């Protein structure tokens, strides 16, 4: 039997998976205590944290303001022996700064479209109106679990 530790992804493999995946499953705790789960496009920010943007009035933001615990899940593969994934439990940081949100959207766009990573905007940059309506959520990991079923004999 294969041990749990023997199928974990290496740090390098985790970074590769995060760099190439487009959609992250994001879970927060809803007002009724049930998980509220949504798919989100994301990027790894300049500090190495999973980050995504959303409207500041969205249910996930309301949930995270009340309880910052967050779980994110990323998995690839179409057959059992191909499954690879990462589940991260952490604390959400809500950033209400148009410059950060504009930059995060740029990181997500560059990753998903294969372009170069954008530089942070210069001081005094004027941002589109959507940047002030949205926030950035940054995930500060507390526990990470990973798996790579290709390692199963």
Average pLDDT over residues 1-18: 86
Domain that holds residue 63: 5-151
- CA contacts within 13 A on the Cβ side of 110: 15
Question: Can you give the pTM of this predicted structure?
Answer: 0.92
Q: Which two tokens stand for residue 105?
A: 């959207």
Question: Cβ(49)–Cβ(68) under 8 Å?
Answer: no
Q: Which two tokens stand for residue 84?
A: 């690879």
pLDDT confidence of residue 3: 67
* Domain containing residue 140: CATH number: 2.30.110.10
Question: Cβ(7)–Cβ(152) under 8 Å?
Answer: yes
What would the pLDDT profile of 49-101 be if each residue is shown by its tens digit? 999 999 999 999 999 999 999 999 999 999 999 999 999 999 999 999 999 99
pLDDT confidence of residue 2: 60
pLDDT confidence of residue 111: 94
How far apart CA 26 and CA 149 sit, in angstroms, is 22
Residue burial 46-69, b: 16+ Cβ < 10 Å; e: rest? eeebbbbbbeeebebbebbeeebe
Number of structural domains found in the chain: 1
């Amino acid at each position: 039997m294969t041990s749990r530790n023997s199928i974990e992804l290496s740090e390098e493999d985790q970074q590769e998976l995060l760099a190439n995946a487009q959609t992250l499953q994001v879970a927060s705790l809803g007002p009724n205590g049930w998980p509220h789960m949504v798919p989100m496009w994301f990027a790894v920010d300049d500090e190495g944290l999973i980050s995504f943007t959303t409207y500041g009035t969205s249910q996930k933001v309301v949930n995270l303001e009340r309880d910052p615990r967050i779980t994110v899940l990323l998995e690839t593969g179409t057959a059992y022996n191909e499954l690879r994934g990462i589940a991260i439990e952490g604390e959400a940081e809500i950033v209400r700064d148009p410059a950060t949100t504009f930059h995060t959207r740029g990181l997500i766009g560059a990753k998903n479209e294969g372009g170069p990573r954008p530089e942070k905007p210069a001081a005094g940059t004027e941002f589109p109106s959507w940047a002030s309506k949205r926030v950035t959520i940054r995930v500060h990991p507390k526990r990470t679990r990973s798996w790579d079923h290709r390692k199963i004999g």
